[in-house]
Structure 1
């Protein structure tokens, strides 16, 4: 199975999964690049997977299914037009035409009902986990996002993470401010800059690298704790409170 990025808007990726002449798409906020790719490659669409309700993730569903009437999987806890198969934690999404099977993960935080799809060694996590970052808390609480990120951090380290925005360089700039002595962050900035200079996406990325460079997964690290306490202006005893302080700092960064 191939996974192909279809750039959309200013920094979105719509992910197209392909095996032979069959395809599925994840978070099609814009129909145009999807329909164009399907037509150019002569592909048959078999499914749409959606992580959450924001327009840049669902805006293309109506136009796509008008030409390709397929099942649309999406979060049961969110009201999304066009969803035919509501899913939640531990549901299975079977795509036999692609030889693929995914397990649904509930990932509240960015939105109240956000979900992810994990299987075949890959994770489609929408706007929950980014390279060296995480999504803003528009509807959920810091505790919810902290738990959601912990759920993702527990997946195998070689999992390839497919988020839906090219935020890597800006996220790494923040990560370097949180942990200025972290050599892994410095190395990742250099490699990511090289990728972008070549016009190559920085996504996907291995989950194990996030454990070394993503401040939102490092709330127990002394330097992260120290920086969070500076931002909060008082001592922080719990990792979730460290996370909350770092997330609030990122909002202002």
Structure 2
């Protein structure tokens, strides 16, 4: 059985430890804060055996070296992580990785960075998506292009609706403000925003989020919706996505 331990770290990151109770393997999903990951693993009585990086940014791969030195864990990552860390196994779209008897499919979700990947475990109904998509948002387009990023989001959209998306940051309250601006007549979004406000008022996490709900409310996943195209412009979903991303960047 798989268990996910989620905990806050740095200023707004979430750390994830994925543990298999049968094999006793534990995967660190990204490594924003090595000491916090090691502390949390110790508190759970787990030993980190693998690291799965989603992309190269330091708040996702910066703790690799320290965790490997402490545990001997193996690093599984896209090629771009070599910018800041050695890698034991390079993975790309279409590859699979495993924890015990559980298989994760590697999905290209580039756009935030050009090598960004997500890890989808279909039997568990979960996906670790890094900074590609957030609750009511998506990552900044630091390295990619609009069509590339839209294609990546389309791969996420194609996952089963019940999939729980484990995003890397608690950005939801900020994202909700822009989403409400971008899509003001969306009743499902309005209800979601109220729930988010109530959770954050109690300092509760808004992550993970269910894909089906994001498909109804997240403007970046709905760039092919005629309502958003009419409001934001663009003759293709990628162009509408680009307009939405630029709008968020300047919001």
Q: TM-score, normalised by structure 1?
A: 0.93
* Equivalent pairs, count: 245
Give the Å deviation of 1:191.
1.0
2:56 corresponds to 1:56: no
2:133 corresponds to 1:129: yes
Q: Quick check: 2:26–2:99 contact (8 Å CA) kept in 1? A: no
2:30 to 18, 22, 27: 27
Partner of residue 227, structure 2 = 223
Distance 2:87 2:7 in 1: 21
Q: Quick check: 2:16–2:29 contact (8 Å CA) kept in 1? A: yes
Partner of residue 12, structure 1 = 13
Give the Å deviation of 1:38.
1.8
2:75 corresponds to 1:72: yes
Give the Å deviation of 1:190.
1.0
Cα shift readout 1:129-160 (whole Å, capped 9, x = no counterpart): 11111111111101110000001001100000
Partner of residue 118, structure 2 = 116
2:143 to 136, 139, 142: 139
Cα shift readout 1:195-235 (whole Å, capped 9, x = no counterpart): 22222211111101111001111122233112213xxxxxx
Cα shift readout 1:79-101 (whole Å, capped 9, x = no counterpart): 241311100111110111xx421
Cα shift readout 1:13-61 (whole Å, capped 9, x = no counterpart): 1111123354211011110111111222221222110000000001111
The 3-state SS of whatever aligns with 1:112 is: coil
RMSD of aligned alpha carbons: 1.3
Gaps of 5+ in 1: 230-235
Partner of residue 233, structure 1 = none
Give the Å deviation of 1:78.
4.4
The 3-state SS of whatever aligns with 2:232 is: helix
The 3-state SS of whatever aligns with 1:79 is: helix
Q: Quick check: 1:228–1:242 contact (8 Å CA) kept in 2? A: yes
Distance 2:225 2:144 in 1: 24
Segments of 4+ in structure 1 off by > 4 A?
Answer: none
Q: Quick check: 1:126–1:164 contact (8 Å CA) kept in 2? A: yes
Distance 1:64 1:78 in 2: 15
Distance 1:60 1:172 in 2: 30
Distance 2:206 2:136 in 1: 11
The 3-state SS of whatever aligns with 1:17 is: strand
Partner of residue 102, structure 1 = 104
Gaps of 5+ in 2: none
The 3-state SS of whatever aligns with 1:123 is: strand
Distance 1:100 1:76 in 2: 23
2:170 corresponds to 1:184: no
Partner of residue 248, structure 1 = 246
Structure 1 residues 78 and 32, CA gap change in structure 2 (3 angstroms):
closer
Q: Quick check: 2:26–2:46 contact (8 Å CA) kept in 1? A: yes
Partner of residue 3, structure 1 = 4
